[in-house]
Structure formats: structure tokens, C-alpha cells
Chains A and B, each alone.
Chain A
Amino acid sequence: MLEFDDIQHILITRVPALTGRYEFLSFKSAAAGRDWLAAISEKVQSAAQVRAGPTQDARWVTVACTWNGLRALGLDEKSLASFPEEFKQGMAARAEMLGDTGPNAPAQWAGGLASTDLHAIAILFAKDAAERGRCQAEHEKLLAKAKGVEVLSSLDLEATPPFDYAHDHFGYRDRLSQPVIEGSGEEPTPGSGAPLKPGEFILGYPDEDGPPANQPQPAVLSKNGSYMAYRRLEEHVGKFRDFLREHGKTPEEQELLAAKLMGRWRSGAPLVLAPDKDDPALGADPKRNNDFNYKEMDPHGYAVPLGSHIRRMNPRDTAANINRRRMIRRGATYGPPLPEGAPDDGVERGIAAFVICASLVRQFEFAQNVWINDRNFHELGNERDPIIGTQDGTLEFKIPKRPVRRKITGLPAFTTVRGGAYFFLPGLKALRYLASLGKGAA
């Protein structure tokens, strides 16, 4: 039922890449943009292609456009108007509601991402640095031919060592809880819930409420595409480690505090299943590391604080309407790792990730506005997400504990939003349609 040969691979598959590069592009003319799109579309792999032989590939390409980019390509006004309001406005215009204020505000963003000149992104994931270099050179050649397509900025991605499992610069194991799309052939890991209707993530299919609504026009754009919220999130590793040392006397206490902020030990082991002591084998075991709930297993948050990152980002059985709030995450880390014990070197490092969903306002923006930044989430009163919430030093983090809870006041910001954008991720036919705009039939 899912048209795997028309869906860009990033929606369905996670590729075994250790490096990558994002290039943010601006079209100086519609013709140049279309020429570039026509050429790059040939490099974009469908989900079907990647599923057929991901191990033989060394690079994976994804292309997506902003609303301004669709306009720059010459899409007509009627079609432009059919896209959802939040996508038309773009992430920078929605900053206040998203919590992107102060140092996180679009005025501070890197790479021209807040500019209306941002039209498209080319996402490259590569097996290694050599392959990335080769692809980068190829793309430069392509851009040289398509005069009038300008690179606003780029970002190189690097996995952080050790490479045997995915984790961020803080050391937390990543990619543990992903929704599964019905009909994708994937089996959810225990505890991850039943597969969700494809329309939650892919345009043109039924969603959890029934037939799709508010789809972009014409019909070719309304099938097999999606929306992506891009977030470039700097991680202040030095500050994070200082905080752990300041609030934990022993290395064990520091590890426990790190786990309380996240809801999992850095090994990935969930606190619900390993409340007192880390269990790295549990953390690494996909059959067990996501198999828990909150309502029965930890209603008061004695294991996982109510305000911890994973309890906010996926409240599981303690949220209403949860199946309409799920998101697919893709992305990677960037910047050099900060060696343990080294003082902060001031070099930017972090996560550059995409949240993929069929409705930015219902899924991504809800998570950002409510789960991450509602100070009164779960009646917490004066908290935001301790890892990625908008923190200005005035909020707190409460750790339920008997007989009396622990309250850490003046929580610093461990992350800063350095950029972001909303993209439309077209299906392959839609990419070709966009590339052919203005040519006779259109």
C-alpha cells in the first residue's frame, strides 16, 4: 500500500552513515532552481531503493524545499496557498511560540537559516569522510553548472566516538524510541506501541483520525511527501559536565543526576527498569530498553522525574491523544567531541536533526510548545525540558524522592538553538513535477 518507490528514503529508513553534510540553498532564479532540482533528483534514493540494498550504498541524498523555495521555483499562488499556515510562515516566524527566544532567537541563528532566501536543503549522509568529500565535490560541479543556485551555508556532520552506537555529545544513547509506520514492514520494539497509520507521517494516506485533510495541491504534491522541522541544537558540553559535578559529589551521583535529567542512563537503560544503578546491557538491548510505561510503573516519577526529557517528549500512557503527537527523528551530531575532563573549548558542537511529521502544527509545534516548554506540564509549575527547553536560569528541576523531593533551582541552558527551518519533503514524482514547472504542461 505504501508507495516505497515514490517516498524519499529518509522517511522510512535510517541509513548506516557516519558522516554527512547539509547544504542550505537559495535560488536566484526559478530556472536555475529547477535545473538544479532536476539534476539532484536523480541522486535522491527512494525508500524502495535503500531497502533493496542499503549496504551497497555509500551515500544517501535527500532534498526538501521551504515554502519560499516552492515560490522561487515558480509554483503558482493557488498551490502555494494550499500549504498549511505554519509551513508558509516558516520556523523563524513561529519563534516566540516555539520558545526560540533570547540566545535561541532567529536573529542569532547561523547560516542564513532565518532568511527568506533559504529555499532548499540538500541532505547528504555518507558512509565515511572520503565519500562525503567525493559527493561534496560532485555537488559543487552540479552547482557550477546550475548558475543561480547559491549555497547559503553548510554543516558537516560527524558521528561522535565510540562509533558502535549512536549518542549525542553529552553521551546519551540516541535513537531508542521511534514510531513504526503501519505497512512499512517494521516491527515495533517491545513497549513502542502499535504501528501508526501512515498518514501521521506521510501525506496522502489515512491518519489516526481517518482520511487525510488539508493536503497541498495539486494532487501530485499531496502524495508520498511530508514536512520536516530542522533543528540545529548546540550542546554546551562543558557547562553540562560542570553542572553534574556541582550537583553530584561522586561520579555515581553525577551519573544518576544525568540519568534523572534524561529519564535514561547515558547507556540508554531506562530509569523505570533500572532506577538505582546503570545497566548497560539493558540499555543496548532493543528488546528491553523501551519496554516500560509510566502510569502503572512510575506514576509519581520516583524513577523518571515528571519533567525529565523522555517523559516530556513521549509521555507514553500518561498523555491524551498520543498517537497524533508522534514524530520521526533523523539527523546526526556535528562538531568535534569534547574529551572527558577537558575544559570547554568554545567550539560549537551539537545535534542537527529533522523532525518528520504530516502536520507541523499538530506534531512538532505541539511537542515544542507544550511538552518541551510548557512550564506547567504535569503541574510542574516552574520547569521546562531540562535538556532542550528554553532555559534562562530562572527555572527549576524537581526530582521526586522519599521522604522529600530534591529541587535544583536556576537550571542553566545546556543547549542553544542555532538554526532551524520548515521544509516540505516531496515524493519523487513531486520533485520531478517541481523541477518541470514552467515547461509547457505546467
Chain B
Amino acid sequence: MSDATKKEDWTKPAAMAIPKEGYFKVEQGRYGPTFPKTPANYGFTIIAKIKPGREAAIREYGKKIEQTIRDLPDGLAVLKLHYLRWVLFDIGKDTHFMYQGIFDTDFDKYTEDAVALFGKYGINTVFENLEGFPEDWKTNAQSFVKFVREHQRPSFLEYGEYPYVSAEEIKKALRLKAAFSDALDQMQ
């Protein structure tokens, strides 16, 4: 892992196979081992069973979060995200919830900030539909963190077409491109 991160080259697509534990060597974060940076940056995949009959409620919250982000585009900035995906799927008679994120900092660093944001923007209510979610999470961020870590499923393979590039770098490049294009227009 450390060798790969030293040679972060965005021009060269890369794949990384990851051991079963989810990390190559144990590096402790505040709440347990941290998962490595891969060509697809940092990320998590949280999978949990939903409480029976809660599917509609979960889907409804999709709209709520859409509206929240429309009103507050910088709302999740602290999480340094690229993408989030919320998925519902069935195994037998049970419906499961998968929450996948790709971001630029190891999750442990900002966990409590994430928990606070979830509370603020209503993501919490999605989690409240999951089995085993701690009821006192609002006043006990650590119980939330514990739930997330217990339901994290590490990848065994990750791939990046432009590996290791942060969202901030991408946004900077696009801003620069826009500014440059504007500068060229001004010189016509």
C-alpha cells in the first residue's frame, strides 16, 4: 500500500487487490484500523439490514437529501467526497441498505464531523431504519461510529481510471480550464 501511494500517478490507471481484513498492515486511527488509500481513494461500503416495512421511508429520504443539498451545496464539504451511493436490495425476504462513499481522507479522521452532519441534514433518519442502529446516537456519536465500523465491508479490489486524484484537484483543474477558456475569449 505504502509503495503504491508513493507513486501516485494520475496518468496511469491502476487497480489494487486488498487483503480480506481490508488493510495491508494495521494502522490505527482513533476508532480502529484505518483503511488504505487505493487508486479509488478512500471509501466505505456500509451494508445493513433494514427494519421490516421501512423501504418507503428510506426512499422518501432520498428526496429530502436531494433538497437539502440543493439548498446548501457546501453542506457536506467537510467529508471531502467524490461520490455517495445509496442502494436498496433484497436478499431472500429481507431488504438491505448499502451506503457507499468515495472520498479523499480516511474516514476515521472526520467521523464525528460526519455524524454531526448526518444529524443536521437528515441522513440519520435513514440509519434509524436499519436494524441494530443505536437509539442514543444523537447524544452518543461513538455509538454511531461503532455501528458504521461494524457494518463496513472492505473492498477486495478497487480501480481508478485517474488514480489517487482528489476531488479538490479535479475542481481546481476544471476551474482553471474555465478561467483559461475565459482568458482566451477575452483575447479575441
Contact residues of A with B, CB < 8 Å? Answer: 86, 94, 96-97, 209-214, 319-321, 324, 361-362, 365-366, 369-370, 374, 376, 379
Among B27-35, B63-71, B124-132, B176-184, which stretch is in contact with chain A? B27-35
Contact assessment for B30 and A365 in the assembled complex, using a CB-CB cutoff below 8 Å? yes
Given contacts A320-B117, A376-B104, contact A369 B142 (CB under 8 A): no
- Residues of A within 8 Å of B109, CB to CB, are 369-370, 374
Contact assessment for A324 and B112 in the assembled complex, using a CB-CB cutoff below 8 Å? yes
Given contacts A210-B139, A366-B112, contact A320 B78 (CB under 8 A): yes
Contact assessment for A96 and B27 in the assembled complex, using a CB-CB cutoff below 8 Å? yes
Bound together, the chains give a CA A319 to CA B77 distance in angstroms of 10
Contact assessment for A210 and B116 in the assembled complex, using a CB-CB cutoff below 8 Å? no
Tell me whether chain B's interface is mostly helix, strand or loop, or mixed: helix
- Residues of A within 8 Å of B78, CB to CB, are 319-321
Tier of interface size on chain B: 20 to 34
Contact assessment for A213 and B139 in the assembled complex, using a CB-CB cutoff below 8 Å? yes
Question: Pick the contact of A361 from B104, B105, B142 — CB < 8 Å?
Answer: B142
- Residues of A within 8 Å of B110, CB to CB, are 320, 370
Smallest Cβ distance from A324 to chain B, in angstroms?
7
Given contacts A96-B27, A369-B29, A379-B166, contact A213 B140 (CB under 8 A): yes
Contact assessment for A369 and B112 in the assembled complex, using a CB-CB cutoff below 8 Å? no
B94 interface hit (Cβ, 8 Å): no
Contact assessment for A209 and B29 in the assembled complex, using a CB-CB cutoff below 8 Å? no
- Residues of B within 8 Å of A96, CB to CB, are 27-28
**Complex: chain A residue closest to B106, CB-CB:** A374
- Residues of B within 8 Å of A366, CB to CB, are 30, 112
Bound together, the chains give a CA A97 to CA B30 distance in angstroms of 7
Smallest Cβ distance from B164 to chain A, in angstroms?
12
B150 interface hit (Cβ, 8 Å): no
Bound together, the chains give a CA A213 to CA B110 distance in angstroms of 20
Given contacts A366-B112, A379-B166, contact A97 B28 (CB under 8 A): yes
**Complex: chain B residue closest to A208, CB-CB:** B116
B21 interface hit (Cβ, 8 Å): no
Bound together, the chains give a CA A321 to CA B141 distance in angstroms of 12
Contact assessment for A86 and B142 in the assembled complex, using a CB-CB cutoff below 8 Å? no
B168 interface hit (Cβ, 8 Å): yes
Contact assessment for A209 and B105 in the assembled complex, using a CB-CB cutoff below 8 Å? no
Bound together, the chains give a CA A6 to CA B140 distance in angstroms of 26
Interface residues of B in 15-72 (CB under 8 A from A): 27-31
Smallest Cβ distance from A205 to chain B, in angstroms?
13
Question: Pick the contact of B113 from A86, A214, A321, A379 — CB < 8 Å?
Answer: A321
Known: A362-B141, A366-B30, A370-B110. 5 other contacts (CB 8 A): A97-B28, A213-B139, A361-B142, A369-B108, A379-B168
Contact assessment for A211 and B30 in the assembled complex, using a CB-CB cutoff below 8 Å? no
Smallest Cβ distance from A315 to chain B, in angstroms?
11
Smallest Cβ distance from A371 to chain B, in angstroms?
10
Given contacts A210-B139, A211-B139, A213-B139, contact A94 B28 (CB under 8 A): yes
Bound together, the chains give a CA A369 to CA B116 distance in angstroms of 19
**Complex: chain B residue closest to A96, CB-CB:** B28
Most buried by A among B104, B113, B117: B113
Contact assessment for B139 and A209 in the assembled complex, using a CB-CB cutoff below 8 Å? yes
B138 interface hit (Cβ, 8 Å): yes
- Residues of A within 8 Å of B90, CB to CB, are none
Given contacts A324-B116, A369-B109, contact A213 B31 (CB under 8 A): no
- Residues of B within 8 Å of A210, CB to CB, are 138-139
B185 interface hit (Cβ, 8 Å): no
**Complex: chain A residue closest to B108, CB-CB:** A369
